[in-house]
Structure 1
Amino acid sequence: MRLDSDASNRSQSPLHNYTNGSTRSPESRSKVANGESHPRSESNGSYTNGNSNGPSMPATFFGHDREEVTRILIQSLTDLGYHKAAGSLCKESGFQLEGPTVASFRSAVLKGEWAEAEELLFGTTSYDNGGGINLDGPEGYGKSWTKSGRLTANMRHTGGLKLAEDANRDQMLFWVKQQKYLELLERRDMGKALMVLRQELTPIHQDVGRLHALSSLIMCQSAEDLKSQAQWDGAQGESRSHLLSELSRSISPSVMIPEHRLAVLLDDVKRSWIDNCLYHNTSISPSLYKDHLCERDVFPTKAYTELRSHKDEVWFLKYSNDGTMLASTSKDKTVVIYDATTYKVIHQLVDHESGVTHLAWSPDDTKIITCSAQLDCTARIWDVKTGRCIRCIRDFTYPCTTAAWAPNGKSVVIGSQDRNFACAVWDLEGKMVHNFHGPRDNIRVNDLAISPDGRRLIELVDKRILVYDLASYERLREFYIDEDKCTSVTISKDSERMLVSMNKSMIKLMEIDTGETLQAYDGRKQEEFIIRSSFGGADENFVVSGSEDSRIYIWRMNGQLVETLDGHQEGCVNSVAWHPSNPKTFASAGDDSRIKIWHPVPLKGPDVSNGWNR
């Protein structure tokens, strides 16, 4: 069973002869185990301040503690695989990566020697009743006096590693006992496993829910069944390394340096650069050779292509999942599919009898579903290759507002203003599979979205946000928005956050599981109409939205406004779609019946096209 945090990306620090005593015996270990009997505290794994045979070194290195820098370098050389260089640095500097007790503790965990690991981590407790012979006679030897009249033995704690200030000792002990228990189950030593569960894990009272889950594992019929049920890879897998990683987080960093410390520090530097780089729009990690800063001229701020295939307001547009096509819907009752390289028209779909409000690409981009307004009130499924309508769902008496594909591509979820079918699942034959609401619910859905991992369905109903488990159709959460009406929703690639557009003029980034608002984006205008916002840029670093003032607004994820772009004539910019594989391109759709393609630098100045002759 995994620990609370994911340690799948961590690796154990190698153990080498310069760890200063990884093979020490228990007798010699007790002398350096951070207890009273050791004349020097093993607080940082070092025993000299530099090489005593060479010239004296300053205690600092450009203002940083020399010992800390050196030990981090030793660890980093080890992580890089330069073990001889790490050993040489230990020898020349006189500093060790870690002291003998830490090395022995690491070895004990990785070898599954749990009694030794506990003793090294937490130390030992001994009792002293002050000497002499108990008045009760030989039977009383070693017994302490109780409150009823006996003396209480003096408890003496020795040894143990220094823990971090916020360390939870019981939690750490629970993790060790849990690993011990699972390994006994893996070996099918059920008797000892049951004793550990009852006599060692249960008294800790750390996690009742986890205890119940652990106790159920006794019923596993085999080691493989155990690994599957516990989501644990066994004693010979990475479980011991993962345990060591978790425990090391609770040990004082002066004693046991956190894993991959230099890499973490470098990540922090790069993250600071990126956070302070207004136009950062690449997933490529910045170079360490120079400070990082992106210029405005590498950001899409110019509309270099204009598409005029529609004859009325363009309400929505979306790139295909692979980025090879762009599709748009319009008040002129048509849907246009473009080649996203040349922006030539591939198909113009004309079967709808009213304005087309929304579209969604199937997971494999072979189909699209489109939704139409009054009076048509239909949802149509189209074959992208042929441009032919392969299914028309006519059950609605009010407009279809939105749709999304199930992850397997075998069904769709359609939202509408029809109270009878406000939000329902339909198969590709046009048969309803599940209806989330009935007429009595009096619900009309403004927008919906399915999370990329396929687990959650988000539904917007005026001032409410409903979250469902897509597989079971169970409603998991319901969030109320007091001040605004929710109009559109987009879910992040990690399936953890949702971007919700609201009247009046607000966009909120919210956590799906809790409904907590993580960030708000303001400045644009949305008071009467549906304006759809979305994530954009490399790694979804940006939020982008149209506006009722004919502009496009782009913010950093942290809420900082990056650009306000003029590009459409009077009316709303209804939808903006960022290219899924080219972070330097996005498309916008406006009431001026135009689609604009934005790029950092125009190729030959602004180009005008009707979408047919390019």
Structure 2
Amino acid sequence: MEMLDDLGDDVIGPRGLIKTRELVRIIIQCLYALGYSKSAACLESESGITCKSPEFELLESLILDGNWGECIECLHKINSLDDETRPSVSFLVLEQCLLECLDCGNISLALDMMRKQFSSLKIGAEIVHRLSYELLSLKGLRLGCIDSDSVQDLRKKLLSNLEKVLPPPITLPERRLEHLVEMAISAWVDGCVYHTSSDSVSLYRDHHCDRDQFPTETTQILTNHQHEVWSVQFSNNGEYLASSSRDCTAIIWKVYAHIVELDLSMMKYALVDLIPHRFRYKAGVIIASVPLKKLYTFVACWTYSPYKDARISCRRLQFRELTVAPCLRLLFPCSGSLTFVQDDNRVTLRFVLRSHEKPVSFVAWSPDNTMLLTCGNREVLKLWDAETGICRHTFGGDGFVVSCCAWFPDSKRLVCGSSDPKKGIYMWDCEGNEIKAWKGMRMPKVLDIAVTPDGENLISIFSDKEIRILNLATNAERVISEEHSITSLSVSGDSNYLIVNLNSQEIHLWDVTTKWIKPRKYNGHMQQKYVIRSCFGGLNSMFIASGSEDSKVYIWTRRSSDPLEILSGHLKTVNSVSWNPRRPQMLASASDDNTVRIWGPCRSNRAECDNFTE
């Protein structure tokens, strides 16, 4: 058998870009890292290629034997070490040598080695003085306190540190194959324009999301509002939707799944994935179904049992497993029909909130999804119980006009801004007790406000075209000035980015922490007269969606300033959009045509969308 070691610089792959020797070596490293030591050793023997280079194997032998003189000479002979790496590596070796010499009480030997070895390495005087000072500054060392086992442990630690410092090909970067594969997956995802799939990316095929998996079609029209709809927002768990209108009401909607029946009369077997999961329904409910050639993959609910004997039941499919395993895939005979839940994203009315005397301009869900804030237009702020639809508290009044609001991550505190410059910004608890206030005669009108999901920053936009980012821990403030009037603000789910809508028909993306000098800009939509609210959406907030005065919804990827999709359907200005944070293929939009539209993926077999009114 021809040894790969004799193949020189042979390459493989369709483009001839992969060096065979390098590939085999990082595969061996990966096998060792995964715990397959026998397989790795077998591959080393068969290929003639070792995970460790000959240079490093020699260093390893010398260090473990404590042969420090030859170790330094070996480092001196490695030509691939540059002038920066060689002193660093030498310092690590000499530090261990000095430690052992001092432990033995042989200080003269330690100093003699330092003088000779540094001289032979021809290191600059400045570096010699610095390293000498660092080595001789070791404190708290007691003679004879290091036993033989500890010495070997310290030498192994030294080798581990050298692996991180020495350059390839002497050593390999840690977990190199895993890093390369993750880079490939990241490149797939970054290049996937319509990436909305929450499933993990498989290595078995190149990743690609089709347009028909993207929310481009109207799946439902909600017509319960009697006037223009100004704001819409999904709850953080994606199970509720809130909308507010010029008709002085807000509505809480429920996002439901749809129960369907699956006929198994033409099937003989079903491939079942059994996954431990605490589920509120009885064991046996089928919660998903994916076609797999002639079989179906069912994801079945398993009520976890801490006992050795765990029973799994899927209606007619039953299995008794004697050991609790994290995941099982088994083939079952089947017949008849099985009920499962299809994720149909059907939205139904839950509560109509009638307490405001003026149009309701804005809604905001608490992070724990149990409460909803509604802002009256030039009116008060109200707190609602999302489970009962009852108003729990009214903030403001007596001339205090609330224009915007936001929640802190603990769902116990909220912040609101006033269009009255004398009022400024207030922080309250849910009982209406004032915690803190930012106000002053010179403070401009507050137009919109947000708290980053991590709770670290309070972000506000003002009538003087400024964005202010206040670090709540340090009180440090960053001010971003825009050239045009700002109408609305939205923050990404990871707290790293914010977007603002401008009446110059642009959306600007700014970072929250790293202080970009210029924003990324998105255009194509129409905004000159009205307040238009945009949002982040999709997986990892990689999309931006916005309403528009031309009655359309615009969607961009964060990487491109030109719209990816333009959704038509509304008849008048689209004021607000919201992307479901838990269902990346679901989008909602609110319009002056008195409707809320739900957008979802294209389905060729779907009937005409319903006008749903309760």
Deviations 1:531-590 (A, max 9, x none): 1111111222211111111111111121253211112002x2111111121111111111
Matched, 1:91 2:6: no
- The equivalent of 1:348 in structure 2 is 352
Query: Is residue 379–residue 394 contact of structure 1 (8 Å, CA) maintained in 2?
Result: yes
Query: Is residue 124–residue 160 contact of structure 1 (8 Å, CA) maintained in 2?
Result: no
Query: Is residue 315–residue 330 contact of structure 1 (8 Å, CA) maintained in 2?
Result: yes
Deviations 1:172-201 (A, max 9, x none): 9799989x99xxxxxxxxxxxxxxxxx999
Equivalent of 1:364 in 362, 368, 383: 368
Distance in structure 2 (CA, Å) of the matches to 1:247 and 1:549: 63
- The equivalent of 1:390 in structure 2 is 392
Equivalent of 2:252 in 337, 345, 351: 337
Matched, 1:308 2:223: yes
Matched, 1:484 2:477: no
Deviations 1:189-239 (A, max 9, x none): xxxxxxxxxx9999579xxxxxxxxx9xx9xxxxxxxxxxxxxxxx9xxx9
1:420 alignment partner, SS class: coil
Deviations 1:379-403 (A, max 9, x none): 1111112211111112473642221
Cα distance change on mapping 1:106 and 1:368 into 2, 3 Å: farther
Q: After TM superposition, give the deviation of residue 307 of structure 1 in Å.
A: 0.2
Equivalent of 2:425 in 404, 423, 435: 423
- The equivalent of 2:31 in structure 1 is 77
1:446 alignment partner, SS class: strand
User: Please, which moves more after superposition, 334-343 or 272-281?
Assistant: 272-281
User: Please, which moves more after superposition, 395-404 or 287-296?
Assistant: 395-404
Q: Does 1 or 2 have the higher relative contact order (CA < 8 Å, sep 6+)?
A: 2
What is the root-mean-square deviation in Å for CA atoms of aligned residues? 4.2
Query: Is residue 323–residue 340 contact of structure 1 (8 Å, CA) maintained in 2?
Result: yes
Query: Is residue 304–residue 605 contact of structure 1 (8 Å, CA) maintained in 2?
Result: no
- The equivalent of 2:504 in structure 1 is 504
Distance in structure 1 (CA, Å) of the matches to 2:492 and 2:606: 35
Unaligned runs of 5+ in 1: 1-47, 126-156, 182-198, 206-214, 219-234
Query: Is residue 197–residue 209 contact of structure 2 (8 Å, CA) maintained in 1?
Result: no
The one-letter code of the counterpart of 1:293 is H
Distance in structure 2 (CA, Å) of the matches to 1:291 and 1:424: 51
Distance in structure 1 (CA, Å) of the matches to 2:202 and 2:435: 52
The one-letter code of the counterpart of 2:584 is P
Query: Is residue 53–residue 169 contact of structure 2 (8 Å, CA) maintained in 1?
Result: no
2:199 alignment partner, SS class: coil
Taking the TM superposition and a 5 Å limit, the aligned residue runs for 1:547-562 are 547-559=548-560, 561-562=563-564
Distance in structure 1 (CA, Å) of the matches to 2:222 and 2:69: 69
Q: After TM superposition, give the deviation of residue 280 of structure 1 in Å.
A: 1.8
Taking the TM superposition and a 5 Å limit, the aligned residue runs for 1:88-167 are 88-99=42-53, 101-102=55-56, 123=72, 158-159=76-77, 162-163=80-81
Equivalent of 2:206 in 264, 275, 291: 291
Distance in structure 2 (CA, Å) of the matches to 1:272 and 1:307: 39
Cα distance change on mapping 1:51 and 1:356 into 2, 3 Å: same
Taking the TM superposition and a 5 Å limit, the aligned residue runs for 1:8-407 are 50-51=4-5, 59-62=10-13, 63=16, 64-99=18-53, 101-102=55-56, 123=72, 158-159=76-77, 162-163=80-81, 203=130, 251-341=166-256, 342-374=346-378, 377-395=379-397, 397=399, 399-407=401-409
Cα distance change on mapping 1:175 and 1:489 into 2, 3 Å: farther
Q: After TM superposition, give the deviation of residue 414 of structure 1 in Å.
A: 0.4
Query: Is residue 89–residue 166 contact of structure 2 (8 Å, CA) maintained in 1?
Result: no
- The equivalent of 1:193 in structure 2 is none
Query: Is residue 164–residue 250 contact of structure 1 (8 Å, CA) maintained in 2?
Result: no
Query: Is residue 588–residue 595 contact of structure 1 (8 Å, CA) maintained in 2?
Result: yes
- The equivalent of 1:608 in structure 2 is 610
Deviations 1:285-334 (A, max 9, x none): 33233333222112111101000111111111111111111101111111
Cα distance change on mapping 1:261 and 1:395 into 2, 3 Å: same
The one-letter code of the counterpart of 1:468 is L
Cα distance change on mapping 1:69 and 1:246 into 2, 3 Å: same
Deviations 1:241-268 (A, max 9, x none): 9999887565322222112222222222
Query: Is residue 9–residue 19 contact of structure 2 (8 Å, CA) maintained in 1?
Result: no
- The equivalent of 2:472 in structure 1 is 470
- The equivalent of 2:305 in structure 1 is none
Cα distance change on mapping 1:533 and 1:201 into 2, 3 Å: farther
The one-letter code of the counterpart of 1:306 is I
Query: Is residue 466–residue 475 contact of structure 1 (8 Å, CA) maintained in 2?
Result: no
Q: After TM superposition, give the deviation of residue 87 of structure 1 in Å.
A: 1.0
Unaligned runs of 5+ in 2: 100-125, 133-137, 141-149, 257-345
1:340 alignment partner, SS class: strand
Cα distance change on mapping 1:419 and 1:68 into 2, 3 Å: same
- The equivalent of 1:444 in structure 2 is 445
Distance in structure 2 (CA, Å) of the matches to 1:104 and 1:418: 76
Q: After TM superposition, give the deviation of residue 365 of structure 1 in Å.
A: 1.4
2:477 alignment partner, SS class: strand
Cα distance change on mapping 1:164 and 1:518 into 2, 3 Å: farther
Cα distance change on mapping 1:489 and 1:203 into 2, 3 Å: farther
Query: Is residue 486–residue 500 contact of structure 1 (8 Å, CA) maintained in 2?
Result: yes
Distance in structure 1 (CA, Å) of the matches to 2:158 and 2:547: 48
TM-score, L = length of structure 1: 0.69
Higher strand share: 2
TM-score, L = length of structure 2: 0.69
Distance in structure 2 (CA, Å) of the matches to 1:165 and 1:539: 42
Distance in structure 2 (CA, Å) of the matches to 1:340 and 1:413: 27
Query: Is residue 494–residue 540 contact of structure 2 (8 Å, CA) maintained in 1?
Result: no
Query: Is residue 397–residue 418 contact of structure 1 (8 Å, CA) maintained in 2?
Result: no
- The equivalent of 2:325 in structure 1 is none
Distance in structure 2 (CA, Å) of the matches to 1:315 and 1:428: 25
Query: Is residue 215–residue 601 contact of structure 2 (8 Å, CA) maintained in 1?
Result: yes
- The equivalent of 2:579 in structure 1 is 578
Query: Is residue 51–residue 92 contact of structure 1 (8 Å, CA) maintained in 2?
Result: no
Query: Is residue 282–residue 539 contact of structure 1 (8 Å, CA) maintained in 2?
Result: no
Query: Is residue 277–residue 293 contact of structure 1 (8 Å, CA) maintained in 2?
Result: yes
Cα distance change on mapping 1:586 and 1:253 into 2, 3 Å: same
Cα distance change on mapping 1:425 and 1:255 into 2, 3 Å: same
Query: Is residue 165–residue 252 contact of structure 1 (8 Å, CA) maintained in 2?
Result: no
Query: Is residue 579–residue 586 contact of structure 2 (8 Å, CA) maintained in 1?
Result: yes
1:358 alignment partner, SS class: strand
Q: After TM superposition, give the deviation of residue 475 of structure 1 in Å.
A: 3.4
Query: Is residue 306–residue 595 contact of structure 1 (8 Å, CA) maintained in 2?
Result: yes
Matched, 1:589 2:593: no
2:23 alignment partner, SS class: helix
Distance in structure 2 (CA, Å) of the matches to 1:116 and 1:448: 66
Query: Is residue 163–residue 250 contact of structure 1 (8 Å, CA) maintained in 2?
Result: no
Distance in structure 1 (CA, Å) of the matches to 2:391 and 2:425: 22
Distance in structure 1 (CA, Å) of the matches to 2:402 and 2:422: 12
